[in-house]
Structure 1
Amino acid sequence: MYMAKVIGSVVSTQKDPSLVGKKLMIVRPIDSDKQPIRFEQVAADTVNAGIGDNVLVVRGAGARRADGNAAQNAADVNDCTIVGIIDRFDK
């Protein structure tokens, strides 16, 4: 799991069936000082995050299990999912 900032959204009318109905957001990983640390990625949003939100993101198998639909997960192509909205950073 890592931290990221939502910087935009992606609209895709033609996509894999496992992505139908999922909101796709552009996220940029950040460090605890809220500074960008890597390249941008596309993540499926399960928590209704908005542009400008700092979020928690999972990748790989965790991303496929994040929506709780075990029957669909076997064929899910999703590799990156927003699973939480960060309220604050305490250091």
Structure 2
Amino acid sequence: MYIAKIVGMVVSTSKDENLVGKKILIVQPVNTKYEPSGNTEVAVDCVGAGAGEYVLVTTGSSARNVFENSKSPIDRAIVAIIDNIEVCP
């Protein structure tokens, strides 16, 4: 899992049937200081996240299992909206 910021969305009228009805967002991975870290990626939202919010993203089979369909073409899923990050010294 990693922290990311929602920086955009993807609109697609033609897609795999397992993605129908799912919101697809563009996320920018960030570090614990909210600084960009790495390349932007596409993730499927399951928590109602929106533009500018910081979220927790899971990857791989864990992302597919969020939607209870192991055959979904999902490799990244947004599983939480982050309210605050506290890093202990």
Question: What does residue 31 of structure 1 align with?
Answer: 31
Per-residue deviation, residues 20-73 of structure 1 (Å, max 9, x unmatched): 000000000000000011101110000000000000000100100112x2xxx1
Question: What does residue 82 of structure 1 align with?
Answer: 78
Structure 1: runs of 5 or more not aligned:
none
- Taking structure 1 as the reference length, the TM-score comes to 0.92
Aligned alpha-carbon RMSD (Å) = 0.7
How far residue 74 of structure 1 moved from its aligned partner, in angstroms, is 2.8
Question: What does residue 44 of structure 2 align with?
Answer: 44
Q: How many angstroms apart in 2 are the aligned matches of 1:78 and 1:19?
A: 8
Q: How many angstroms apart in 1 are the aligned matches of 2:76 and 2:14?
A: 19
Aligned pair count reads 87
Is the 2:44–2:78 Cα contact (8 Å) retained in structure 1? yes
Question: What does residue 16 of structure 1 align with?
Answer: 16
Structure 2: runs of 5 or more not aligned:
none
How far residue 89 of structure 1 moved from its aligned partner, in angstroms, is 1.0
Q: How many angstroms apart in 1 are the aligned matches of 2:6 and 2:80?
A: 12
